Amino acid sequence: MRFVPNKTRYKRATETAKPVLPILARIIDASSCGLTHYLVTQYGKPFTDNGFGNWFRDRCNEAGLPHCTAHGLRKCGASLAAENGATVNQLMAIYDWSTPAQAKIYTDKADRKRLAGEAMHMLASGHKENELDK
């Protein structure tokens, strides 16, 4: 019997629709695509999840970016969206997360970054808000 981690046991039974960003639409229009899939193998077949990850890894290595991964792009997108003000529910919709836990990781990190930026000046000596009234 093969061990399958809990997080990979569940496959979404329904498809979801997402709008395509204009810049991505231009790239898709300028690219050769399969009939029913945007990304296809050299044989015109849709990539499997692992197949795409391996293909992307090879392209990153060729570009001299061994630290980059397809999953890393997903994480980067979630971070950018959160830092630009996306809510937990918006991230859940974009990334098809069924519980808020994953989205909250990104919004909490963005909140901490924003709050630290807003508060750092309070460490400076002579900051009036930190002085006790005498």
Domain identity same for 75 and 102: yes
Name the β-bridge partners of 40.
Answer: 46
Domain identity same for 89 and 105: yes
State pLDDT tens for residues 87-132: 999 999 999 999 999 999 999 999 999 999 999 988 887 766 655 5
- pLDDT, position 2: 47
Domain identity same for 89 and 116: yes
22 within a domain of the structure (yes/no)? no
State pLDDT tens for residues 37-80: 778 888 888 889 899 999 999 999 999 999 999 999 999 999 99
134 within a domain of the structure (yes/no)? no
Domain identity same for 63 and 79: no
Say yes or no to pLDDT of 10 above 70. Answer: no
Q: Provide the angle, in degrees to the nearest 10, between the axes of the packed helices 70-83 and 100-119.
A: 50
- pLDDT, position 14: 73
103 within a domain of the structure (yes/no)? yes
Residue range of the domain that includes 73: 69-122
State pLDDT tens for residues 13-35: 677 888 989 998 898 888 877 67
pTM over 0.85: no
Residue 20 structure tokens: 């395509």
Domain identity same for 55 and 36: yes
Give how many domains the chain has, as a whole number: 2
14 within a domain of the structure (yes/no)? no
10 within a domain of the structure (yes/no)? no
- pLDDT, position 78: 97
Between 83 and 28, name the one with better pLDDT. Answer: 83
Domain identity same for 73 and 106: yes
- Which amino acid makes up residue 17? A
CA nearest to 19, candidates 82, 84, 90, 97: 90
6 within a domain of the structure (yes/no)? no
CA nearest to 96, candidates 15, 28, 34, 37: 15
